[in-house]
Every structure is written in C-alpha cells, then in structure tokens.
Amino acid sequence: MHPKPADQGTHSAASDAPLAGDMGYPEHQYRFGMEPEDPPAKVPVRLGVLRAAAMALIGRQMGEAAIEDDKPQAVFLTERAKELEHLALRLAKSDPNDPSAIAQLQTLAGRHEKDLRRAAAQIRMYGLHHEDRVDHVANKNLLAAATGGALEPLTDEQDEWFSLLEHFDQMPESESFEQLVTLQPALREFEQTVLRAALDLWPSPLDPDDAIIGFVVDGLRRLVGPEAETEDSVVKTRLAYGTCRVHLLRKVGVPLSD
C-alpha cells in the first residue's frame, strides 16, 4: 500500500492525473481574437526563462508551506528527503518498534532537520498514514527525529485498527465487497446499476471505453472512501474505495492490471 512516487522537486498528489479536455485545438488563437492562420506570437526566450523560474519558485514555496499539513497537496523533495523517506519506510516495515529507528534517521539527516519534515509530508500526501501501519510509523518516526522526540509505540486501539485493515486487504475483492455491503447496503444497489449500465457503456473487453470507469468512480465517491456519506470508519477508507472499484470493474469485464 505504498503507491507514492518520490521524484525530486515539487511533487503534487494530482501530478500523475491525465489531462482532460485537451483536444488539440488552437484555443489560444480564438481567445485573443487571432485568426487561425495568424502565426502565434513568439515569447522572448528571456521572458520564458523568467516565467519558468517564477513558476518553479511558486511551486517550491507551495511545497514548503504544505509540509505541516496532515495531507499535503504538494511537497518539495530534495535527494536527502527521498533517502529519508525510503529509510523510514524500510525501518517501519522491518520493525515498527525499533528503538534505533529515530537515531538512524537523525544520522542520515545530519543538520538538515527540514528534510525530515519533507520526507514525512511526502508519506502523508496520499493519506495512507491513517490506514497503513508502515506509513503511520514511518511518519511518526520522521517527525520525532525532526523534533528530538522519542519513539511512540502504537496504542492498542491503533494496533487493532491497522490489523483489521490488513486482514481486510488480504481478502479477495469479492469477499471484501460483501463485507462492505453489510456496512453500506447502498453498494448492492449500485452494483446492480453498474451491471445494467455496462450493457451500454462497456460493449466488450476488446472495445475499451473510459465511460464505464468514470461511471463507477463517480458513483462510488458518495458510498465509500473519504468523501462517503457515512460515519463508518472502515467504509470511509481509501482501501474500501479501491476494493469496491476493482470488484465492480472486474465484474463487468474491464481488464485491470494486478
């Protein structure tokens, strides 16, 4: 459960999303009253460089300002911050209660305390620190290393929560889906709706169409996941959303990579 790219520079949670609405039309020509046959105005090289530098500065400032957020939208990563992120995750996975983890992170960081915070922010970007034991421990250890704090063991309640989700994650999607139906009965009705809609939106596995995927994604948002209209903590997880999404798309024949 660690789908977190960690490229150097400002990284955004939405940076991997496909662009929508770009049909290749020269919209900028019509917007500024230019005729299609008019050659586009050339931007001076120096001005282009200045604009790029300004955008990079703005992106970095946004990333720096967000590193204290519970779920940052952008994080400016240095090479050291990436190394700290990888080390923190590796240590947390090996032994969540390793008493030397914080000292190892501090040694790698040296005097660069802010890189510890950057690494922690990168781990929190996708919100998995609330659902995944390794992400949770890695984030806590990085923050403790940054502030001079001590190792903070999981509480019994936290341990039970992560164990519950780990068990849930190891089940086949079909079984997990059935359990979620007991917590969110509206999922059963939506499943039937998807099966009926698939006749029009998904002609065959040989004729891929994003329409059925969009239909499932949009419909699930209000039923499961962080935006779901429910108070049940399991139903509101990203794990529940991903489980339902995979189950429904596979059920109508959409090929998905494992």
- CA torsion through residues 141, 143, 146, 150, sign: negative
At residue 15, the pLDDT reads 44
pLDDT digits (tens, 9 = 90+) for 168-226: 999 999 999 999 999 999 999 999 999 998 887 765 554 555 788 889 999 999 999 99
What pLDDT does residue 219 have? 94
- The SS3 of residue 233 is coil
Predicted confidence band of residue 63 (pLDDT cuts 50, 70, 90): very low
- Residue 213 is predicted with a pLDDT of 87
Mean pLDDT in residue range 118-122: 95
Q: Is the dihedral of CA 138, 140, 141, 147 positive or negative?
A: positive
According to DSSP, the residues that pair with 12 across neighbouring strands are: 74
CB atoms within 10 A of CB 183: 14
Average pLDDT over residues 82-93: 97
Q: Which residue has the tokens 């959303």?
A: 241
pLDDT greater than 90 at residue 6: no
Confidence of residue 25 (pLDDT cuts 50, 70, 90): very low
Least trusted range by pLDDT, from 7-11, 162-166, 172-176, 248-252: 7-11
pLDDT reported for residue 148 = 94
Confidence category of residue 48, pLDDT binned at 50, 70, 90: low
pLDDT exceeds cutoff 90 at 12: no
Q: How far is CA 22 from CA 2, 19, 26, 27, in A?
A: 30, 7, 10, 10
